[in-house]
């Protein structure tokens, strides 16, 4: 590790500080530093760094730039809704606010390069200037010439400047049609389980021993590692559930060393956390409150998705049921389901070659309005007049996004719809009107 920290041109004390802040990233930092070279030397025009979310891309860049006090501009492409903001940010951090104010009202790349050159001739770079672009994948959606121009910015402005792009997506998906100046690719690998354990164990609670906390992290990783490797997510979960883990200790039931009992206590709790707080069904605040309320079992609180129950008028419910049936049943089977004098239904007779996979796998099919109304009259017991209110209920179901209008070409004449609700939802609805929907569904025959 110390060998990696010997980079001429940089202060050794500062390098030491950098190394302390970047655990498990020694190889990458060493690589980056040696590529950057000494501050006054030229660095490669563009470097593209890719890696999974929370693999320390931005953090490494941030710490390096800050600790080594290199001239840099950090730009997040999410914030830059227009290129103006990007140009302003870069000019501001390199040359001060006077330069940024030189930009005309709607600047083009040409203006930016002109002002940059102008400023640069007044204050030439003594050190390599770095432009760090976070979330670089969004650059693809902006002006087509922006990305190629940034990649060869060093040549365009004739200054010692390096553009560093950070992204989750691989470079192959960035390359423009006619090609561009190829950047230097650098990969930040994911943290292994051991490294995650090491990093997570660092921010331990001061009132407990290090081994105790690392046991906790170990258990946490045991539950979550197969699903989630995102360091930030894991850190958040670790912080949320630690108080629950300590509970038996506070009550004096077990000792710190009794790992098995601790595990038994926390494991179901963590499993529940995966279904609730990991999916943001229950917010972190609610989860913490729940942990404090002893008597209430965790997860008894209804999550976000449990709030899908909606109150609908009587006919709307039937309209929705009819729409669901129309969406998930093939039209050929309507006669057998909804006419009075039908024979025995045998599924094998119906099966066509392309219908082997059920509709619940393929998703809802569109249906015309006529079919919806026909099924509606058949499933509603009483006589219903086709009044304006029925039709307005259909369109209000569309605005509630329970139905979706498929083709927008014709508003009045023969519109087509799709049902956009799930099976659980429609089952709940049909239960309230005492309608057995499963009996009518072709897939469950």
Which distant-in-sequence residues (6+ apart) come within 8 Å of 431 by Cβ?
Answer: none
Name 417's bridge partners: 367, 405
Question: By rule CB under 8 A, what string of x and - marks binding of each residue 129-168 to another protein?
Answer: --------------x-x--xx--x-xxx-----------x
Q: What minimum distance in Å lies between the beta carbon of 248 and another protein? A: 25
Interface segment toward another protein; rule CB under 8 A; list 35-43, 312-320, 344-352, 369-377: 35-43
> Among residue numbers 317 through 376, which ones bind another protein (CB under 8 A)?
357, 360-364
Q: What minimum distance in Å lies between the beta carbon of 279 and another protein? A: 5
**Binds another protein (CB under 8 A): choice among 21, 38, 291, 333:** 38
Burial of 239 (0-12, 13-18, 19+ CB in 10 A): middle
Q: How many residues bind another protein (CB under 8 A)?
A: 73
Q: Does 181 bind another protein (CB under 8 A)?
A: yes
Could you give the 3-state DSSP secondary structure of residue 161?
strand
Alpha helices in 105-230, H assignment, sequence order: 109-122, 146-151, 153-157, 193-202, 210-224
Q: Does 444 bind another protein (CB under 8 A)?
A: no
* Separation CA 70–CA 73 (nearest Å): 10
Q: What DSSP string describes 53-118?
A: TTSSHHHHHHHHHHHTT--EEEEETTT-SSHHHHHHHHHHHHH-HHHHTTS-SS--HHHHHHHHHH
> Among residue numbers 237 through 256, which ones bind another protein (CB under 8 A)?
none
Which residue lies nearer to another protein by CB, 28 or 74? 28
Question: Interior CA angle at 444 toward 443 and 445, to 5°?
Answer: 95
Q: Does 113 bind another protein (CB under 8 A)?
A: yes
Q: Does 11 bind another protein (CB under 8 A)?
A: no
Question: By rule CB under 8 A, what string of x and - marks binding of each residue 82-111 to another protein?
Answer: --------------------------xxx-
Neighbours of 342 (CB within 10 A): 10
Q: What minimum distance in Å lies between the beta carbon of 407 and another protein? A: 9
Which residue lies nearer to another protein by CB, 157 or 246? 157
Q: What minimum distance in Å lies between the beta carbon of 306 and another protein? A: 12
* Separation CA 436–CA 297 (nearest Å): 33
């Amino acid at each position: 590790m110390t060998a990696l920290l010997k980079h001429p041109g940089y202060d050794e004390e500062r390098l030491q500080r950098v190394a302390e802040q970047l655990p498990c990233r020694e190889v990458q930092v060493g690589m980056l530093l040696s590529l950057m070279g000494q501050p006054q030397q030229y660095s490669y025009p563009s470097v593209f760094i890719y890696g999974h979310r929370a693999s320390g891309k931005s953090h490494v860049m941030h710490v390096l730039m800050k600790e080594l006090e290199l001239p840099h501009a950090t730009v997040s492409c999410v914030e830059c809704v227009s290129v103006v903001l990007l140009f302003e940010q870069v000019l501001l951090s390199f040359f001060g606010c006077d330069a940024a104010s030189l930009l005309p009202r709607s600047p083009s790349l040409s203006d930016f390069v002109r002002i940059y050159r102008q400023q640069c001739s007044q204050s030439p770079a003594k050190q390599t200037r770095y432009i760090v672009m976070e979330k670089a994948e969004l650059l693809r959606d902006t002006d087509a010439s922006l990305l190629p121009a940034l990649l060869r910015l060093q040549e365009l402005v004739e200054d010692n400047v390096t553009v560093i792009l950070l992204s989750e997506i691989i470079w192959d998906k960035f390359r423009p049609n006619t090609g561009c100046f190829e950047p230097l690719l650098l990969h930040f690998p994911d943290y292994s389980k051991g490294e995650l354990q090491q990093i997570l164990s660092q921010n331990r609670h001061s009132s407990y021993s290090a081994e105790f906390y690392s046991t906790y992290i170990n258990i946490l990783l045991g539950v979550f590692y197969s699903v989630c490797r995102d360091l930030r997510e894991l850190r958040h979960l670790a912080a949320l559930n630690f108080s629950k883990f300590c509970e038996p200790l506070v009550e004096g039931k077990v000792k710190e060393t009794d790992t098995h009992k601790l595990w038994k206590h926390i494991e179901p709790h963590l499993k529940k956390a995966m279904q609730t707080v990991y999916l943001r069904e229950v917010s972190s605040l609610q989860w913490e409150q729940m942990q404090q309320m002893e008597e209430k079992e965790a997860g008894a609180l209804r999550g976000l998705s449990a709030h899908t129950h909606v109150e609908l008028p009587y006919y709307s419910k039937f309209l929705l049921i009819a729409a669901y049936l129309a969406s998930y049943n093939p039209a050929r089977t309507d006669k057998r389901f909804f006419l009075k004098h039908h024979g025995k239904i045998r599924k094998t007779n119906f099966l066509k070659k392309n219908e082997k996979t059920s509709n619940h796998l393929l998703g809802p099919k569109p249906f015309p309005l006529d079919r919806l109304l026909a099924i509606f009259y058949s499933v509603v017991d009483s006589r219903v007049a086709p009044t304006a209110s029925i039709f307005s209920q259909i369109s209000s179901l569309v605005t509630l996004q329970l139905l979706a209008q498929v083709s927008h070409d014709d508003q009045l004449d023969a519109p087509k719809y799709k049902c956009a609700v799930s099976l659980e939802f429609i089952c709940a609805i049909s239960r309230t009107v005492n309608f057995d929907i499963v009996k009518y569904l072709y897939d469950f025959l």
